[in-house]
Chains A and B, each alone.
Chain A
Amino acid sequence: MENIKTQDPKIIAFVCNWCTYTGADLAGTSRLKYQPNIRMIKLPCTGRIDPVFIIKAFEKGADGVLVSGCHPGDCHYNAGNFHARRRWMMFHKLLDYMGIDENRLHFSWVSASEGKKFVDVVNAFTNKVKTQGPFEKYAKINKEFVINE
């Protein structure tokens, strides 16, 4: 594993309770190892994820944001992840406008039985965010605001 201290990206993940959170539990019970940068916020369903959460995460210092829920058709709540997906497609179009590189954001499906996939997704995304370096745009804006005020 690479030395995480060198770049130390902060990654926030918004995951649903039933699929990805449980998939991450399975990675644990299977003792699979992955990079430790990720901090998970558990929600009942990806349908609960408001795009504002993602912006907020970047604003608060995240260098990457991962969103992960049940596979299409598998949603514990029937359709929540479809709504999430639709919202995501809208949001994706706005990324550029908001100055967020699309490599800093990843949307994936990880089911409760996919511990290995969870690990692969986290590792791949962590590596990707590392190559992006720290996300400083919003932090700078925040600072400017403070000075101007």
Chain B
Amino acid sequence: MKIGVFICHCGENIGRTVDCARVSKAAGFFPGVVHSVDYKYMCSDPGQNLIKQAIKDFKLDGVVVGSCSPHMHEKTFRKAVADAGVNPFLCEIANLREHVSWVHEDIDVATDKAIDLIRFAVEKVKRNTPLTTIKVPVTKRTLVIGGGISGIQAALDVANAGYEVVLVEKEPSIGGHMSQLSETFPTLDCSQCILTPRMVEVYQHPKIKLLTYSEVEKVEGFIGNFKVTIRKKARYVDDTKCTGCGDCMQKCPIKKKALSEFDEQLTTRSAIYVPFPQAVPNIPVIDTSVCTYFKTGKCSMCKKVCGRDAIFFEQEDQMLTEEIGAIIMATGYKLYTIDKKPEDSEIKGYGEYGYGKYKDVIDGLQFERIASASGPTSGEFMRPSDGKTPKKIVFIQCVGSRDESKGFSYCSKICCMYTAKHAMLYKHKVHDGEAYVFYMDIRSGGKMYEEFVRRAIEEDGVKYIRGRVSRIYEEDGKYIVKGEDTLAGVPITIDADMVVLATAMVAQPDASKLAQTVGIPYDKYGYFVEVHPKLRPVESSSGGIFLAGACHSPRDIPDSVAMASAAAAKAMVLFGSDMLEREPTIALVNENLCAGCFYCKKVCAYNAIEIKQIKDKQGNLIKEVAFVNSGLCQGCGTCNATCPSKSIELIGYTDEQIYAEISALM
């Protein structure tokens, strides 16, 4: 093999700490290397031409580029090599920037390391074989998981482009948190009014298959070719018969036992219920944990009153499988709960605020329900304990956010805005009321956001106090809020009628489990992780799986919607071609050696290994060997490491190649 080595200075980035000329000179003496140069910017046009020209001049059939990380420019250099007529897989990258020049300071030491890395790569490329990318067909259907505003937006975008969508929502209705909100910042338009039409559009869309009260159980396959198993939980109501008249709910004798999830525990609901009147689909479910029929077999009132004979107590969970090409994660967030009993509390250390203990110390979503025209008080400001109009409300920001010791170190991003909104909504209805906001900083980046907060302060007279609250206690029907005004440097006491805590936005409790089911990474908080924080913010590191909305990080509606449209666009990019190209890094069986033990089959996570029968001319079975389905194999190489007779090998990472790299250490 005739190998060319090309060392890039990356401007000064590599050149500053690596003596590139010395590296290229040393590489020139490696066995097999016939040409070695260094150049300022290998990835530039002239740089690439330098490689192409050298391939022609020196009849190179192997190339090593010492440059930035292969994750950055491997594609670029492989393409350049291919343009010059050499198989792109005969090009190896040595990472001289991220792994050498940026992390070491001593020029001699860094240069020595760079030379080693080039030697590794030269030994590896010598053992590379020409490969062609694998082409697999694409299923042009999208699975959207989560039916909040993000999932709704993504589903509509993809469906409106003409591709089929399966939307899976675990609750009985789509809508997510946005359906619970009263009015939305910064325009104060009614949340339901702008959301409901979209929910209906999803329901009626011919390209969208809506599966509510359903969860994703299993995801197999890979980009373009997923097979997804979905559990459709039993509603005990036949959705093909139910007309959503609601008679069952009215007659259901259970009225007080179950707290309404939608109203954030401020009201109760019946055992057979839809979460809220505008629910989509408007088909009830039976909550078996409170339903008398399911407990004692005695009731069945709903079954009697249902004119459509839609109640079906014997219904069971159903398993559906769907063929899917792209997946969009849109499972949203949850609010941090400070629970009633301190030992159940997720936030340790906010016991001093008395949440759960005092009825009038509530969280943001409960406030949204109180402020909402469709809420338990029809939008009248009444406090939960006695229904009186609160004349003095204290809002506390950053409860759980930005405080590692008590909750989370990140900023929840939306609380500054919704607290300003809450205070404003309150002042618009209770003109003589007083609203106080305790804050650490005001973070109101966003179009018309700073103006919005200013309006709350200047036009609506909301009083902002910079500082923390140390304690809240009850005294004569008032809540005594003890805090500190850090700007004035004085302690402060407010006798409030109601307290609203802006608790942190956190990942769904089952997010990490779902991430594992789907096969995408998540961070320490449980948020799904993008593959590149700047340049690929809506893609997960698993091909064909995209992220939308608050399941990725705390974000408001405009940000969620934008991200959802971006994720939809990414799915559609995938659908732009009928065939997908994949790296040819797959396992290959040496049928002569294979003993048919099928250990490989047991360890393969993708069921890529099949049993192949080898027969003689008469058709008699000689032996059974492993066979790799190249469409399913993802190239992890677990089989390779497991095979006792080394008869299955991962192309591109064979034992021989790795031994050669190890030997290059000497």
Contacts and interface: CB of A to CB of B under 8 A. Distances in A.
A47 B102 contact: no
B637 A47 contact: yes
B400 interface: no
B103 interface: yes
Contacts of A74: 521-522
Contacts of B512: 73
A32 B99 CA distance: 10
A83 B653 contact: no
Interface residues of B, number: 51
Given A22-B71, A79-B605, A48 B638 contact: yes
A33 to B, nearest CB: 6
Given A41-B120, A53-B662, A83 B642 contact: yes
A112 B103 contact: no
B665 A10 contact: yes
A111 to B, nearest CB: 7
Interface stretch (A57-65, A94-102, A130-138): A57-65
A44 B98 contact: no
Given A12-B662, A112-B521, A83 B638 contact: yes
A56 B98 contact: no
A101 to B, nearest CB: 19
B492 to A, nearest CB: 39
A87 B641 contact: yes
Interface string B533-558: 00000000110000000000000000
A82 to B, nearest CB: 9
A18 B661 contact: no
Contact of A76 (B110, B523, B542, B603): B542
Contacts of B659: 53, 56
Interface in B100-159: 100, 102-106, 109-110, 112-113, 116-117, 120
Interface in B391-410: none
Given A44-B653, A56-B659, A77 B638 contact: yes
A56 B662 contact: yes
A40 B655 CA distance: 16
Given A44-B653, A113-B523, A50 B634 contact: no
Given A24-B98, A53-B658, A60 B103 contact: no
Interface string B631-659: 00011111011100000001001010011
B636 A48 contact: yes
Nearest to A24: B99
A47 B641 contact: yes
Contacts of B637: 43-45, 47-48, 80
A49 interface: yes
A76 B635 CA distance: 11
B98 A29 contact: yes
A39 interface: yes
Contact of A27 (B103, B529, B666): B103
B596 interface: no
B467 to A, nearest CB: 32
Contacts of A148: none
A44 B585 contact: yes
B636 A77 contact: yes
A39 B521 contact: no
Interface of B: 69-71, 95, 97-100, 102-106, 109-110, 112-113, 116-117, 120, 512, 516, 519, 521-523, 529, 541-542, 585, 603, 605-606, 634-638, 640-642, 650, 653, 655, 658-659, 661-663, 665-666
Interface of A: 4, 10, 12, 18, 21-22, 24-25, 27-29, 31-34, 36, 39-45, 47-50, 52-53, 56-57, 60-62, 70, 73-74, 76-80, 83-84, 87, 111-113, 119
